[in-house]
Chains A and B, each alone.
Chain A
Amino acid sequence: MDQTLSVTELNLYIKNLLESQPMLAHISVRGELSNYKIYPSGHHYFTLKDSESSIRCVMFKSSADKLRFRPEDGMGVTVYGRVSVYPRDGAYQLYCAHIMPEGIGDLQVAFRQLKEKLEAEGLFDESHKKPLPRFPGKIAIVTSSAGAAVHDMIRILGKRWPMAKILLLPVRVQGTEAPAEIAGAIRYANEFDVADLIITGRGGGSIEDLWAFNDERVARAIYVSRIPVISAVGHEPDVTISDYVADRRASTPSNAAEIAVPDCREIADLLDAFDLRSSQAMRKRITALWDRLDFCSTRRVITAPTAAFDLRRLEVDRMRERMSAAGEKQVSRCRQQFVALTSAMEAMSPLLVLTRGYAIASSEEGECVRSVAQLQKGDRLSLRLCDGTAQCLVEDTKRS
């Protein structure tokens, strides 16, 4: 104890002591994050603790920028780094190179965090999803021009619906440049309105390989796309943020091609069905019209158009008969009347009396002689008998 040190000397001594320990130079420590702060400098400061102890930690900007998730207070983590002393405060602390969330990987945490954030913003809302065109004329494919995915899609699209023109927008689908390229291609397709459907995706791979499709920039580009987007990333169980945002999710790129277009054979069948239905409807219509025509053409007015006249003629004849019969009856009645009248008249006639031997005497002047007082000797009389007249000379008159 014969050496007196300055504070700085002591702290440096301890620092050197600690740093000479190989175990402390590369250490991993498990604990819970608390009091996590990101300073404007970009350095991260936090405390790592368990139920009994805690240690101050720092993560410099260069390391912190590589974090793929956002550390949160209370998160169980394993921290990798070295232990050293901050001489100014005389405090030892953990200098972090990397933080891994406990249990699950950092990417899973990042995925969950972005998913929650975008979900809260409404990027996954069903109401925002656009319907896909039934018969897309142009399909933009945003993926790598190498690799099986693009060829699978082109092959299936060609087989199902060769009418659609395929526009490939080649992008890198993994690596740090990938998200910006994918998002850029989607925005570009919209800017120049190159297609009426976009398929973006890639074949399967590790979570790192698919990571570009979990990028916020890609998610936002899909969200604002006016052109409907089908997301087709990896294999069936992999679901990416792009899948959640896209208007339609396909389990694989091949599946995206199947969703994107109808099968021309089904459409050909549909056309056949239309053909059949319209000719059936037409035949039915024509048959119905024939039936109506037949119904009309078998009516008697058409088959025997004079029948109605015959009937009328019959009626007329009957009328005529009735009329003439009535006329004749009238005439004979008149005749009878006439005969009766004439016989009655005849009965009254003076001439009839003459037949019984009477005669009518009339003077030369034609006057009827009713009395001898009208006569003198020498008068000439005309005696009318029933069958002629006789001229007489009056010889004498004598009143009886």
Chain B
Amino acid sequence: MAGKKQTLSFEESLGRLEEIVRHLEKGDLPLNDTLKLYEEGTGLIASCSKMLDEAEQKVVKLKKGPDRSPIESDFEDENSHDA
């Protein structure tokens, strides 16, 4: 189940959460399904919050490689050179 959650992007997770909350608020599902949804929802909230809390910005510089495909290099290094 955790593996399935990881494949969801942040946007997909948030979309699914909206859907779950709507279902829960409508209260039209059998209790068993409701409990499953609630569990999924709290899981998504936890994973989204974790993503937000643990996110660290990555900045790279793109350069054309010999075959034209992009090569990433560290931006901060370049930047300290410039400075």
**A166's closest neighbor in chain B, by CB?**
B59
Count of B interface residues, CB-CB < 8 Å:
37
- Within the complex, the shortest CB–CB distance from B53 to chain A, in Å, comes to 8
Chain B positions 30 through 51: 1 when the CB is less than 8 Å from some CB of chain A, otherwise 0 = 0100100010011001001101
Interchain CA distance A146-B25 in the complex, whole Å: 51
Knowing A134-B11, A135-B11, A285-B34 are in contact, say whether A163-B62 is a contact too (CB < 8 A).
no
**B35's closest neighbor in chain A, by CB?**
A282
B residues in contact with A168, CB < 8 Å: 59-62, 75
B31 touches A162 (CB 8 A): no
B residues in contact with A289, CB < 8 Å: 31
B residues in contact with A268, CB < 8 Å: 49, 52
Interchain CA distance A140-B61 in the complex, whole Å: 9
In the complex, which of the residues A165, A169, A271, A281 has the most CB atoms of chain B within 10 Å of its own CB atom?
A281
- B7 touches A (CB below 8 Å): no
- A57 touches B (CB below 8 Å): no
- A157 touches B (CB below 8 Å): yes
Cross-chain contact of A274 among B10, B17, B79, B82 (Cβ < 8 A): B17
- A145 touches B (CB below 8 Å): yes
B41 touches A278 (CB 8 A): yes
- Within the complex, the shortest CB–CB distance from B69 to chain A, in Å, comes to 6
Cross-chain contact of B62 among A169, A270, A285 (Cβ < 8 A): A169
Knowing A145-B78, A162-B55, A274-B17 are in contact, say whether A282-B24 is a contact too (CB < 8 A).
yes
B21 touches A137 (CB 8 A): no
Chain B positions 1 through 30: 1 when the CB is less than 8 Å from some CB of chain A, otherwise 0 = 000000001110010011011001101000
Residues of B within 8 A of A (CB): 9-11, 14, 17-18, 20-21, 24-25, 27, 31, 34, 38, 41-42, 45, 48-49, 51-52, 55-62, 64, 69-70, 72, 75, 78-79, 82
A residues in contact with B57, CB < 8 Å: 154, 157-158, 162, 164-166
Rank and list the top 10 A-B pairs by shortest CB-CB distance, nearest first.
A281-B24, A158-B57, A162-B55, A163-B55, A162-B57, A166-B59, A135-B11, A165-B58, A281-B25, A278-B41
Interchain CA distance A170-B62 in the complex, whole Å: 8
Knowing A135-B10, A163-B52, A163-B55 are in contact, say whether A278-B24 is a contact too (CB < 8 A).
yes
Interface size of A as a range: 35 or more
**A265's closest neighbor in chain B, by CB?**
B52
B residues in contact with A137, CB < 8 Å: 9
B residues in contact with A167, CB < 8 Å: 60-62, 70, 72
Interchain CA distance A74-B58 in the complex, whole Å: 55
Interchain CA distance A183-B36 in the complex, whole Å: 51
A residues in contact with B64, CB < 8 Å: 188
Chain A to chain B contacts (Cβ below 8 Å), 22 pairs: A135-B10, A135-B11, A140-B62, A145-B79, A154-B57, A162-B57, A163-B51, A163-B52, A166-B60, A188-B70, A192-B69, A270-B14, A271-B17, A271-B45, A271-B52, A274-B18, A277-B25, A278-B45, A281-B21, A281-B27, A288-B27, A289-B31
**A276's closest neighbor in chain B, by CB?**
B21
Cross-chain contact of B45 among A162, A166, A274, A281 (Cβ < 8 A): A274
B45 touches A170 (CB 8 A): no
- A264 touches B (CB below 8 Å): yes
Cross-chain contact of A154 among B27, B38, B59 (Cβ < 8 A): B59
A residues in contact with B11, CB < 8 Å: 133-135
Cross-chain contact of A271 among B48, B59, B62, B69 (Cβ < 8 A): B48
B residues in contact with A161, CB < 8 Å: 55
Knowing A158-B57, A264-B52, A268-B49 are in contact, say whether A192-B34 is a contact too (CB < 8 A).
no
